[in-house]
């Protein structure tokens, strides 16, 4: 028995999942599942599975609605990324202040004379 390539399995399961949800939830117009591959190169692998009530998204309205939702999702992710970067930037600034203060403690001040060595 030959096994399917992993990406075929992902697509099949995503499609089944989407079709099941569309049957269960009448308010759902379509569903897009976007896999995030944990591989050095995901070139050639599927980037998403979109399923509408009548199969693949085909009408301009279906495509527009799905695109608007995807845009909203990506916009929310971008907001989170910006917040993470802001927190990391603040942490870096705090660490720089701490390192600067510790460096000042270790270096002799300009008012102090350097230790004299006797010859």
Q: Count other C-beta atoms under 10 Å from residue 35's C-beta.
A: 15
**pTM of model > 0.75:** no
At residue 116, the pLDDT reads 66
- What's the average model confidence in pLDDT over 61-88? 94
Quick check: 50 and 21 in contact, CB under 8 A?
no
- Cα separation, 65 vs 44, whole angstroms: 26
In this predicted model, what pLDDT tens digit does every residue of 3-16 receive, in sequence order? 778 889 999 999 99
pLDDT at 1 over 90: no
Tell which wins on pLDDT, 3 or 65. 65
Instruction: Convert the pLDDT of each residue in 19-50 to its tens digit.
Output: 999 999 999 999 999 988 888 877 888 888 99
- In terms of Cα–Cα distance, which of 7, 23, 18 is closest to 50? 18
DSSP 3-state assignment of 71? helix
Element (H, E) at 38: none
What's the chain's average pLDDT? 88
Closest Cα partner for 11 from 38, 37, 49?
A: 49
Q: Which pLDDT score is estimated for 5?
A: 83
CA distance 10 to 47: 11
Q: How many angstroms separate the Cα of 94 from the Cα of each of 9, 30, 103, 105?
A: 47, 46, 14, 17
């Amino acid at each position: 028995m030959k096994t399917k390539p992993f990406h075929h399995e992902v697509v099949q399961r995503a499609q089944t999942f989407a079709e099941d949800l569309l049957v269960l939830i009448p308010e759902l117009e379509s569903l897009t599942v976007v896999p995030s591959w944990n591989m050095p190169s995901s070139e050639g692998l599927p980037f998403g599975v979109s399923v509408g009530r009548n199969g693949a998204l085909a009408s301009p309205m279906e495509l527009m609605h799905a695109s608007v939702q995807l845009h909203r999702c990506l916009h929310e992710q971008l907001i989170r990324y910006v917040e993470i970067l802001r927190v990391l930037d603040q942490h870096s600034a705090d660490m720089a202040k701490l390192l600067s203060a510790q460096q000042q403690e270790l270096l002799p001040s300009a008012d102090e004379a350097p230790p004299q060595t006797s010859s």
